Amino acid sequence: MQKQSIPIIKHCVYRAKIKPFANTDDFILGLANNIVNSLDLHVVNKIEHRFSPQGITIVWVLAESHLAIHTWPELGYLHVDLVTCSNKDSNEIEEVLAHILDDSLIESSKIQSRY
């Protein structure tokens, strides 16, 4: 009997307090692109919503699961939620985000599940 592989799901939540930022598509989409490219993830679909008067939420469906970014620009606050079944180490994901967000104070939570 052949062993079935057991998927490993990594769920990383990052709360970043950064200097107030412009609530622009360029900034948020650039951030998402940078995360996806740096971790060699693959985008399948994109959903974006702009709130009035400010704030953006994007959800990108990835071949490896999903990435969601929620913003509160008036507070200088980002919430990044990345769920992946890639073989990337959670520490590597955190290092990539710390590098991308550069000047920010990052609090993170990691959830790793085996099914």
Residue 82: is it exposed, middle or buried by C-beta count within 10 angstroms (0-12/13-18/19+)? buried
Residue 87 lies inside a defined structural domain of this protein: no
Residue 94 lies inside a defined structural domain of this protein: no
Give the CATH number of the domain where residue 33 resides. 3.60.90.10
The pLDDT assigned to 100 comes to 81
Read off the pLDDT of residues 3-22 as tens digits, 9 standing for 90 and up.
656 677 888 888 888 776 76
Range of the domain at 75: 8-79+99-106
Q: Report the SS3 class of residue 93.
A: helix
Read off the pLDDT of residues 67-109 as tens digits, 9 standing for 90 and up.
999 999 888 888 999 998 887 777 787 788 878 877 667 776 6
Residue 111 lies inside a defined structural domain of this protein: no
List residues with catalytic annotation: 65, 70, 85
**Structurally, how many domains does the chain consist of?**
1
Tell me the sheet residues that pair with 46: 60
Residue 18 lies inside a defined structural domain of this protein: yes
The pLDDT assigned to 85 comes to 85
Residue 29 lies inside a defined structural domain of this protein: yes
Q: Please determine, for residue 61, whether its predicted confidence score (pLDDT) is greater than 90.
A: yes
Residue 23 lies inside a defined structural domain of this protein: yes
pTM, two decimal places: 0.83
